[in-house]
Structure 1
Amino acid sequence: MRPTHTEKENAMREKIIPELYANEYNKFIGFEVLELSATYSKARIKADSRLHNTYGSIHGGALLSFVDAMAGATGSMSGHYVTTVSANLNFLLPAVNTEYIYCECMKLKTGKHILVFDIRVTDDNGNLLDSGEFSFFASKAQVLGDNLKF
C-alpha cells in the first residue's frame, strides 16, 4: 500500500500535471498521468500511428521523450524542477499490438543534487518493452516557489 499523499505533494501534483498537459510537444505525444509522487509515477500513451516508425512500431524517440517527461515530472515532485543529466533506455521488444504503452518510474536515489530513476515500459499485457535508468539534476527553481532561475 502506498503512503497517503501530503498536502504539499498534492499541491505539487496540481501544479506539475497541468504544466505537462499544456506543453505542445507533450500534447503531441498524448500521454496521460495515472499516478505521480516523488518516488513513483505511472503514465500511458495511446499507441497512435502518428508515433510509428518505418517498421510499424512506436518510434524509439517517441518512447524516450515520453519516459523523459514522466521521469522529469517524478523528479520535480521532490520540490525542485529537474533537468536531464543522462538517459538510458534499452529497447527490448517492439511496441506493437497494444492499445497503450505504459511507463513506470521508480526512485532509486535522491542525492543533494542528483536524482536517479529506474524505468519500465510495458504494453497492455504487462510485457516489458523497454527498461532503463534516468538521472536528473535538481535545479534551484522550486515547484511551489516564485524562483524560476535554473
Structure 2
Amino acid sequence: MQISKDTILKQANAACKNTLMETLNIEMVDFGDDYLTARMPVNAKVHQPDGVLHGGATAALAESVGSFASHVFIDTEKFFVRGLEITANHVKSVKEGFVYAKATFLHKGRTTQLLDIRVTDEANNLISICRLSTITLPKNK
C-alpha cells in the first residue's frame, strides 16, 4: 500500500514535536520519489550575533531533512537511521525570510545512504551545499 505525500509530511512534522526541529521551526514541506524538502524561518532565533543565518542552524536543517529522507525509505518497524557525517559549505548569507533544504539521494544503499542537500533562499539563491551520510541499523527487539 502506497502512503500519500500528505501523510508522510504530516507524520514527519508530528515527529518533530519537542525536538530541535520544533525549536528551530523546521517544517517538512515537500516529498517525492527521491527527495524531501524542509524549510526553516530565518529570524533572531537562528542568527549569528551580526544578524545573519548561523551555519550551525543551517547544518541542523540539512541533517534533519537528510535523516528524515533516509528514514522515509526504510522499514521503521525493523530499522532506524543515524547520521554518520555532515559537511556544509556556506556560500551566501541570508538575514530574513525562509531557507529551504532539499535532500536528494546520491546513494541509497541498504546500510548506508549519501545525500546531497541544497539550502536555498526564497529566491532560489544557493545559501549552502551540504553532504550527509547516514546509516541504517537494525532495531534490537
Q: Does the pair score TM above 0.5?
A: yes
Aligned residues: 137
TM-score between both structures, scaled by the size of structure 2: 0.85
Q: Within 5 Å, which residues of 2 pair with 1:83-122? A: 83-96=82-95, 98-122=96-120
Q: Is the 8 A contact 1:31 1:44 kept in 2?
A: yes
How far residue 14 of structure 1 moved from its aligned partner, in angstroms, is 4.7
Q: Is the 8 A contact 1:115 1:135 kept in 2?
A: yes
Tell me: CA distance 1:140–1:10, structure 2 relative to 1, closer, same or farther (3 Å): farther
Tell me: CA distance 1:12–1:34, structure 2 relative to 1, closer, same or farther (3 Å): closer
Aligned with 1:136 (options 134, 137, 140) = 134
Secondary structure of 1:53 counterpart: coil
RMSD, aligned α-carbons: 2.3
Code of the residue aligned with 1:91 in structure 2: it is: H
Q: Within 5 Å, which residues of 2 pair with 1:58-77? A: 58-77=53-72
How far residue 12 of structure 1 moved from its aligned partner, in angstroms, is 5.4
Secondary structure of 2:130 counterpart: strand
Give 5+ residue unaligned stretches, structure 1.
142-148
Provide Cα deviations, 1:73-97, integer angstroms capped at 9, x if missing partner: 001011143101110110111122x
| Percent of aligned positions that are identical | 18
Partners of 1:10 and 1:45 lie apart in 2 by 19
Q: Is the 8 A contact 1:60 1:91 kept in 2?
A: yes
Aligned with 1:43 (options 38, 43, 59) = 38
Secondary structure of 1:54 counterpart: coil
Partners of 1:31 and 1:9 lie apart in 2 by 18
Tell me: CA distance 1:33–1:10, structure 2 relative to 1, closer, same or farther (3 Å): closer
TM-score between both structures, scaled by the size of structure 1: 0.81
